[in-house]
Structure 1
């Protein structure tokens, strides 16, 4: 007896070989793991389990297409195996075959509804796709089947935040902390529900956890940010500054960001986009409303206003523009933007249509959509050739407020400029210089909108925003906080509140931020 029902029918020696392969992978020797598992597959060609383990090795070594083929061989032997279907979904997802992956996970859930993993995989990927309500249902199913599955609890909290169900989200984050009091993702989630400040008991708990020496660095960073936000809400700005400084210093040590590489990129991008061919179709991309700028500059609020319009789908932060350009870089064997001067009008037309094909699902219900990926500002210079009909809305906020808000926010993607005040100032200067020039080159396409102006005079600025986007005025845009949609950013709570002025926080830090003012220089004028 092997003790593992999935190994039933295998000789004990073959079970030992499969287990040895699994151990080799766990111990960091995928080559030996694959050799052992191929041996087991050859000796038991009619059994699916060695094939499943082989596919896991192939996925681990980034050969997703091979993993798909291996799992399909296994499913030919056991088509009703829920775990195989779930693993196939993971492999298909790694190949970019999104719809097939979702179908595989749904099939796994139907075959064995008691298993939490397929529900979790389904929910996680539905959430990434912006299908938040369906994601909540799937993650609730995962948690009900495995109440101690920490990633499912945290991700369910995130999905509930994105849906605007803040009390339910907080309960899930608290449940996660009950399992793991130093869970940085849960503390980050609670802290990002800015409408419900953390309390005195949370301050004690955070400080106690930060005294531990056995917690992961990522958890320590997240808890430091949460503590900083808590102290700011309590009015202890010196303590808040210290907490943010420690968290960012640790993150920068873990993932250094290179200011010199960034400045070189900006110079190259400006030079490469100085002259571009006239577009084959000047209307290409008219469906697209890009919202670009620094994080924490008000971009989520501007998107929420546009998404309240009956003709606009709020798609959130889409990766597609960067992916299209990266794939072209791989095809040409040159990094972006070095190949930009060689691209013809036909190349740009092809790339624009590729982007529109990738984003077509966001136009299924409404004719136009927003793409709010902040980093898309780096590509704004090529849009007049690639998607000349698109509108680019650049959002700007007071530079000190923007810089300090970035410093206070923990970002998922690392390395990141926001872990150091000098790096933030460098990034602000570079992005401002680039966007100012690209707006001169394409004045009808790139439109500047300021966060403070919107708060001071909402209706006037909202009408101007809609006009810039070629949209008729709709009164729903004046009450965008009532719009029911998934908001998948750290501003999910704020954009569900009515517009109000007086949101500045940096001035309260007084002399602590004087070095930042000096670094920002003329931008603060």
Structure 2
């Protein structure tokens, strides 16, 4: 804010404090006054744009930043914030260009590198993300979020020892950093030790840590107890962590059941597709989290014709944007959609995922919750293959309960909710499969473990792929895996993956819930 009068500096500081404290209505007039008193300085405009973005006015924030850039075209922070606004507007390619330019204009500024790395990681460009996040940490060694994201990216790249080092560095800065404990706990081939147990228990006794950190620490402690065979302690830790998360972000079982009923009704009759081959490039892998879907994707990604794209958000984004355009929530508008509408939406999805077909003709989209949209695919992407993965319900349910999910509210925080979700989604998929049996195929995790070659051949056949022996040694495939199973799928197939039986009668309430939901 060099060159600004002291009174204007105070206005900007006051506006920034109000925004930080969750008072945007108080912040806006302060920042507008600052801009009016210093119309030739970009910094009041930059803070105003941050406020406008924070209050969901991204197009207005874009205009504000463009005004600021006319004053100082080579301001790195302005280009950095412009990238954030462009990303919020859905223009990720332009946003990446803005962050790249900011990094070039001021290489020692950490935030452009951080934003660049974070978004490259979300796009699956893991190696580039690692390089950018290392730059951010070079210029800001105590930047905790950059250390966490770098650890996550290294996990996805299979560089587990380097990832552990990043998470440990984060814990040296902040021992109660839940994201660091979550990262360490998710590397399931690297067990936490007794010293970690003491530190976790010490952090849980503190009263000054955030609830989100307390949830993550509880999950990590539960995983540690399980690894040490202390199943009663593990059960208690998972129960406490999930109870807290459920209080923070309650999930509505009733709303879920109503959605399933509406989706089944709305998708019963769909128009014949304009192009029955549209979407042939796509292999959707859907089902419950923790049901083996990452393993099935790893097998397919070992095939020379298939790119493993991991969990892509684009099918849901296309549906959401169509709902916004129509002003009607999904799936209520489905009966009104014409064949031309579905063709348009299918082509939109394919355009958004084009980068995954740059080197190979087919790609996987392994977002489990895409089962919600499986009923419309016979109209929208009729050429796509859909693989539904299922695992023993008790193992699936307990594994979900032990996993801390980013997206909240989530059914995984309550055993009864998990049972209802398994029952509802499987019932829906049974109906969807009955309507499109040539495209929607059921594969079971335990069957793959019991007879790998036979089941892999069947999987490839269901996807219209020729057999390739590389799929039999999929753990050797070099690729980025952006899920909680990143470490496990890089190991040879194991037959001892069941964990629920060790808890004995402690899981009887879960067994009863699963039986009741049938």
TM-score w.r.t. length of structure 1: 0.96
Structure 1 residue ranges, 4+ long, deviating more than 6 angstroms after superposition = none
Selected match of 2:393 from 393, 399, 408: 399
Farther off after superposition, 444-453 or 108-117: 108-117
Aligned counterpart for 1:501 among listed residues 495, 498, 517? 495
**Whole-angstrom distance in 2 between the partners of 1:295 and 1:487:** 15
1:469 to 463, 472, 490: 463
Residue 105 (structure 2) aligned to one of 97, 100, 111? 111
Measure, in 2, the Cα distance between the counterparts of 1:223 and 1:43.
Answer: 48
| Structure 2 equivalent of residue 363 of structure 1 | 357
Counterpart of 2:403 in structure 1 is: 409
SS at match of 2:307: strand
For residue 18 of structure 2, what is the aligned residue in structure 1? Answer: 24
Matches within 5 A, 1:41-56: 41-56=35-50
Question: Is the aligned partner of 1:187 residue 2:205?
Answer: no
Work out the CA distance in 2 between the residues paired with 1:93 and 1:226.
33
Equivalent of residue 195 in structure 2, options 201, 214, 222: 201
Instruction: Give the corresponding residue for 2:286.
Output: 292
Say yes or no: does 1:73 pair with 2:67. yes
CA contact (8 A) 2:42 2:69 kept: yes
> Do the aligned partners of residues 32 and 252 (structure 1) sit closer, same or farther apart at CA in structure 2, a change above 3 Å counting?
closer
Q: Please state whether the residue corresponding to 2:383 is helix, strand or coil.
A: coil
Residue in 2 that maps onto 1:273: 267
- In the alignment, what sits opposite 2:256? 262
Match for residue 123 of structure 2? Answer: 129
1:295 Cα offset (Å): 0.1
* Deviation (angstroms), 1:520: 1.1
After superposition, the C-alpha distances for 1:179-206 in whole angstroms (9 at most, x for unaligned) are 1111110001001111011111111111
Distance in 2, Cα, partners of 1:461 & 1:507: 25
Name stretches of at least 5 consecutive residues in structure 1 with no aligned partner: 1-6
- The equivalent residue for 1:4 is none
Greater mean alpha carbon deviation, residues 21-30 or residues 336-345: 21-30
Q: What displacement does 1:33 show?
A: 2.5
Structure 2: gaps spanning 5 or more residues: none
SS in 1 for 2:359: coil
- 1:522 shift after superposition: 7.6
Deviation at 1:47, TM superposition (A): 1.6
Give 1:489's aligned residue. Answer: 483
Q: Is 2:320 the counterpart of 1:326?
A: yes
Specify whether residues 515 and 78 from structure 1 end up closer, same or farther in structure 2 by C-alpha distance, changes over 3 A only: same
Match of 2:89 among 95, 98, 121: 95
**Corresponding residue of 1:3:** none
Q: Give, in angstroms, the shift of residue 514 of structure 1.
A: 1.3
Deviations 1:326-364 (A, max 9, x none): 111122222111111121111111111111111111111
1:83 equivalenced with 2:77 (yes/no)? yes
Which residue pairs with 2:222 in the alignment?
A: 228
Tell me what 2:338 maps to: 344
Q: Name 2:57's counterpart in structure 1.
A: 63
| Distance in 1 of aligned mates of 2:451 and 2:270 | 37
1:160-182 CA distance string (max 9 Å, x none): 00000000100110010001111
The equivalent residue for 2:152 is 158
- The worse-fitting range, judged by mean Cα deviation, of 155-164 and 512-521 is 512-521
How many Å separate the matches in 2 of 1:13 and 1:226? 49
Query: Structure 1's 115 and 451: CA in aligned 2 closer, same or farther, altered over 3 A?
Result: same
Residues 436/215 of structure 1: CA separation in 2 closer, same or farther (3 Å cut): same
Residues 417 and 423, structure 1, Cα contact 8 Å, conserved in 2: yes
In 2, Cα distance between equivalents of 1:522 and 1:502: 28
Counterpart of 1:366 in 2: which secondary structure? Answer: coil
Contact 1:228 1:240 survives alignment (8 Å): yes
The separation in 2 between residues aligned to 1:256 and 1:13, in whole angstroms, is 45
In structure 1, how many angstroms separate the alpha carbons of the residues matched to 2:233 and 2:347? 51
CA distance in 2 between partners of 1:520 and 1:159 (Å): 36
User: For 1:456 and 1:509, how far apart are their aligned partners in 2?
Assistant: 24
Q: Matches of 2:255 and 2:27 in 1, distance apart? A: 39
CA-to-aligned-CA distance 1:435-488 (integer Å, 9 cap, x gap)? 111111110010000001111111111111111001111111111111111111
User: Could you state the TM-score of these two structures normalised by the residue count of structure 2?
Assistant: 0.98
The answer to whether the Cα contact below 8 Å between 1:399 and 1:523 also exists between their aligned partners in 2 is: no
Q: Does the 8 Å contact 2:306/2:361 carry over to 1?
A: yes
CA distance in 1, matches of 2:38, 2:205: 52
Alignment of structure 1 residues 435-446 onto 2, 5 Å: 435-446=429-440
Secondary structure, counterpart of 1:58 in structure 2: helix
Task: Give the CA deviation at 1:523.
Answer: 8.0
In 2, Cα distance between equivalents of 1:502 and 1:101: 45
